[in-house]
Amino acid sequence: MTKTLYRAEVGVLLTKNDPEFESYNHVYTRDYGFYDVDASVFASFEEAKAWGDSYIKSGADMTYAVITSDLYKPDNVEGTLINELLSGETPLDESWNFGTTKDDVLYFAFNSGGELRVPISKAA
């Protein structure tokens, strides 16, 4: 049996005319630079989406949220590690593969002029 963890990343989108665009446009849609500010791990897509949308709604223009996921087998991963990841006590390491391509994105939304724009939303 496999289970899913969801990673929500939040930050500020950089447009092509931003001097740091080239340093941050190597992930997700590549239409923007994704200047990440924070990331958290969640047990459900709904929790990840609520956290990301809250960040966007309370943020400035061009704040964003991106959700990706990774599968794991509870038999192969200690339950205490999962709890530590979910609580933020333990950061993610290279063994997790939440993905950084457009195909890996389950949800991408951002603040555009005070409105929530959702270019990508896949059922989780």
The predicted model scores a pTM of 0.92
8 Å CB contact between 106 and 69: yes
8 Å CB contact between 28 and 100: yes
pLDDT in tens, the chain (124 residues): 899 999 999 999 999 999 999 999 999 998 999 999 999 999 999 999 999 999 999 999 999 999 999 998 888 888 788 888 999 888 888 888 999 999 999 999 999 999 999 999 996 5
Please report the pLDDT score of residue 123 as a whole number: 65
8 Å CB contact between 66 and 104: no
